[in-house]
Structure 1
Amino acid sequence: MSDSQCESGLSLSETPSKRTQLENGSDSLSLIKKAVVVLTRLPEYKISALRPPTPQQFYSEDELLSSSDSDMQWEPEDDSSDSDFSVSTNKQKTAKLKESDTTRPPAPPTGSNNNNNEEEVKVDMVVLARKRPMRWQRGKIVEMVTKEDGRVKYKVSFEEKGKSLVSGHHIAFDTTPKLEQLYVGARVVVRCQDNKFRFQPGILAELPSRKNRLRFLVFMDDHTPVYVSLPFLHLVCRPLEDVLEDVSDSSHKHFMKQYLKDWPYPHLTQYRAGQALNVELNGVQQRCEVQVVDSSLIQVVFQDNQHKEWIHRGSIRLEHMARFLELKAAEERNNGS
């Protein structure tokens, strides 16, 4: 019914038909009833009602969640007195989340040469290549070298200066990707907003939605979160099967592993502008204040040096999140024993 988007109804119409019958020596006219199927176009609101629910990862207009986040979030109390952190638990909501596993995004393509990035990589092709772990630059492939074990390396001559011999997961397409190629967990390189010649590697963490004002959220490999538009994104040519293997920061790697596991219901804290909290900076929890709340991010200013930066609301740098993860880990250990 929903496939055809039509509503069928059964109606009876009387169709005159002559039939010669010998009744008292005279002809008679009788009526034969025929069944006729009438198809009626449904109005748009009925069609929408018949469609199956849209998966959450695609952020449809018919989102089931009541806020920009998920049921897996909480709001820390004003911690000006450093009161004990409490996590609100709702068993009904938690059970509901477990039942909605079908809303998880489809599994990303597997293998280093997946169909999404199957564009041919060849000599004289302009690419973005890694010069240092957090610094990629534009260059041209001048040679392709096949090693004894069959691996292919790419010699890149950078536009600024220098050459590097890099693997396929350390080069990215210079072109803008198509929307259908992008998914949460994709390995990408992002153009720096303050320098169009510099690029940094990261992992795609959010697709565009009404709630994030149609932007992509990317976690850089140094744990920095950034919202960008499509033209700033570039897909890595031959990503590793496990993209996290290319992340050197162990704490960020652990965070991203948990984030991708929890998606589409990542753990997020709720903050409001003007709220005080503690955030890790240079290895030490320091006092700061929320300046701006922007979708999944907050901008904080540190009291000591007035340093400002954007923090993800689920970041392990947040003292509230660190406490929550400790409680969660302890609970899992107790349940396991």
Structure 2
Amino acid sequence: MEMDDQLEVTMSQSEETSSKRGLFEFENLAESQCESEPSTSGFLCKRTRMEYGLSKRVEVSLIRLPDYKISALRPPTPLQFYSEDESQSSSDSDTKHRESSDSDTPAGKKSKKKKNQTTDNMEHTPIIDSSAFAYTPQETTKTRPDLPEEEITVGLTVLARKKNLRWQRGQVVEVVTKEDGRLKYKVTFEEKGRSLVSGHHIAFEDTPKLEQVYVGARVVVNCQEDSIQYRAGILAELPSRKNRLRFLVFLDNHRPVYVGLTLFYLVARPLPDTTDDIQDDTHKRFMKQYIKDWPHPHLTQYKPGQHASVEFNGVQQRCKVEMLDCSLIMVVSECNQHKEWIHRGSLRLSHMPRFLELRRREAEAGEQ
């Protein structure tokens, strides 16, 4: 029988009740009301209303829905981003995929050992996502804007490097020109002391303008919760809905921090490759790779409660993920309960160096 044909159903009754026969009539429903209750076959069924009590004959009209209405009834496919909630949904989808794969195995053959192995794999081998983080042209830039340089003059209040990883507020008291033409700046610090520094070890104290910032910029951060108030770093994310409109900075000690525009300052004369000013070789390699991959950084997908192996002082330790904050996770060491925010693509995560090495080998094989 064709789907568009009318379906006729005849219902008979005994002779004793024939005198009480009634008739069912169809009530035309509003289109919106019909659409809210589609049948599993994709057709709409019209309801009936009893007027006289008993039925003798029922007619059902089947109407084919247009394709666009059928598509509208299907659940949308979720997009994948890097926010906390979306990271969790990505991990959930991976879990469901693994569970559905196991469902093909008879229940009697499933063992607890296999379930434990699956759990361990989920804990120590999370998904690594390399989807595009930036979604506007301005966010993809990794080049310093071609803007006029601000002058560094005598009497200017600046932030300058006093010792390794330590910057302090001071005042330029003299500009020195070396024999090779390089300029040096003598700075007197507010907390006593004096240093002769290069332009890439001086930062302007003024709040940066948005057109001056870019991924890879050399900056100095006001670390309000740190015993060392000012630390140098590299800008790693610009504000977007994926990071709740904040800037991500990697400090030179590999610590990632989210800050607002008023909490960091631009270095006056950065080196052509800003990573060359990083002294720690491991962190320097990480930042070079990060900037090279931008806007496709490699981020692991974690959920609170999962376990990870994280390096602390050169030793891998078993940790538990306690919180997520966009591109960062807070991990708690099971050894001493030490808490720390780390980046979801950090080389301190045990699987990240292996992933990057495998990726490097694949790239080399593709070039041959």
Which residue matches 2:310? 279
Which residue matches 1:174? 205
Which residue matches 2:104? none
Where does 1:4-153 land on structure 2 (aligned, <5 Å)? 66-68=80-82, 81=120, 85=125, 105-109=140-144, 115=147, 118-153=149-184
Return the structure number with greater helix share.
2
Provide Cα deviations, 1:49-74, integer angstroms capped at 9, x if missing partner.
xxxxxxxxxxxxxxx96312799xx8
Whether 1:327 and 2:358 are equivalent positions in the alignment is yes
Aligned 8 A contact 1:204 1:217 in 2: yes
Q: Secondary structure at the match of 2:262?
A: helix
Provide Cα deviations, 1:258-279, integer angstroms capped at 9, x if missing partner.
1111111111110000101101
Aligned 8 A contact 2:158 2:203 in 1: yes
Q: Could you tell me which amino acid in structure 2 is paired with residue 81 of structure 1?
A: D
Separation in 2 of the partners of 1:129 and 1:85? 42
Deviation at 1:335, TM superposition (A): 3.0
Q: Secondary structure at the match of 2:160?
A: strand
Segment drifting more, 318-327 vs 119-128: 318-327
Aligned 8 A contact 1:79 1:276 in 2: no
Equivalent of residue 191 in structure 1, options 208, 222, 233 = 222
Aligned 8 A contact 2:324 2:330 in 1: yes
Deviation at 1:284, TM superposition (A): 1.6
Q: TM-score, normalised by structure 2?
A: 0.64
Aligned 8 A contact 2:142 2:215 in 1: no
- Using a 3 Å threshold, how does the CA distance of structure 1 residues 292 and 101 change in structure 2: closer, same or farther? closer
Aligned 8 A contact 2:186 2:196 in 1: yes
- Using a 3 Å threshold, how does the CA distance of structure 1 residues 102 and 144 change in structure 2: closer, same or farther? closer
Deviation at 1:156, TM superposition (A): 0.3
Whether 1:289 and 2:347 are equivalent positions in the alignment is no
Equivalent of residue 255 in structure 1, options 263, 279, 286 = 286
Provide Cα deviations, 1:299-324, integer angstroms capped at 9, x if missing partner.
00000011110010011111122221
Separation in 2 of the partners of 1:178 and 1:104? 15
Aligned 8 A contact 1:270 1:313 in 2: yes
Provide Cα deviations, 1:72-102, integer angstroms capped at 9, x if missing partner.
xx8587975357848689xxx98xx7xx997
Deviation at 1:108, TM superposition (A): 1.6
Q: Secondary structure at the match of 1:217?
A: strand
Q: Could you tell me which amino acid in structure 1 is paired with residue 147 of structure 2?
A: N
- Using a 3 Å threshold, how does the CA distance of structure 1 residues 225 and 79 change in structure 2: closer, same or farther? farther
Q: Secondary structure at the match of 2:140?
A: coil
CA RMSD, Structure 1 to Structure 2 (Å): 3.0
Aligned 8 A contact 2:217 2:235 in 1: yes
- Using a 3 Å threshold, how does the CA distance of structure 1 residues 137 and 313 change in structure 2: closer, same or farther? same
Aligned 8 A contact 1:80 1:276 in 2: no
Separation in 2 of the partners of 1:218 and 1:283? 23
Share of identical aligned residues, percent? 57
Separation in 2 of the partners of 1:274 and 1:210? 25
Aligned 8 A contact 1:127 1:171 in 2: yes
Count of matched residue positions in the alignment of Structure 1 and Structure 2: 261
Separation in 2 of the partners of 1:65 and 1:131? 47
Which residue matches 2:196? 165
Aligned 8 A contact 2:166 2:228 in 1: no
Structure 1 stretches lacking a partner, 5+ long: 1-63
Segment drifting more, 148-157 vs 208-217: 208-217
Separation in 2 of the partners of 1:256 and 1:79? 33
Deviation at 1:225, TM superposition (A): 0.4
Which residue matches 1:57? none
Separation in 2 of the partners of 1:87 and 1:297? 15
Separation in 1 of the partners of 2:190 and 2:156? 13
Deviation at 1:195, TM superposition (A): 5.4
Segment drifting more, 225-234 vs 323-332: 323-332
Q: Which protein is bigger by CA-based radius of gyration?
A: 2
Deviation at 1:230, TM superposition (A): 0.9
Structure 2 stretches lacking a partner, 5+ long: 1-77, 96-116
Segment drifting more, 154-163 vs 316-325: 316-325
Q: Could you tell me which amino acid in structure 1 is paired with residue 345 of structure 2?
A: G
Return the structure number with greater strand share.
1
Segment drifting more, 222-231 vs 79-88: 79-88
Q: Could you tell me which amino acid in structure 1 is paired with residue 231 of structure 2?
A: Q
Q: Could you tell me which amino acid in structure 2 is paired with residue 192 of structure 1?
A: C
Provide Cα deviations, 1:118-168, integer angstroms capped at 9, x if missing partner.
111100100000011211000000111000000000000000010000000
Equivalent of residue 238 in structure 2, options 193, 199, 207 = 207
Q: Secondary structure at the match of 2:229?
A: strand
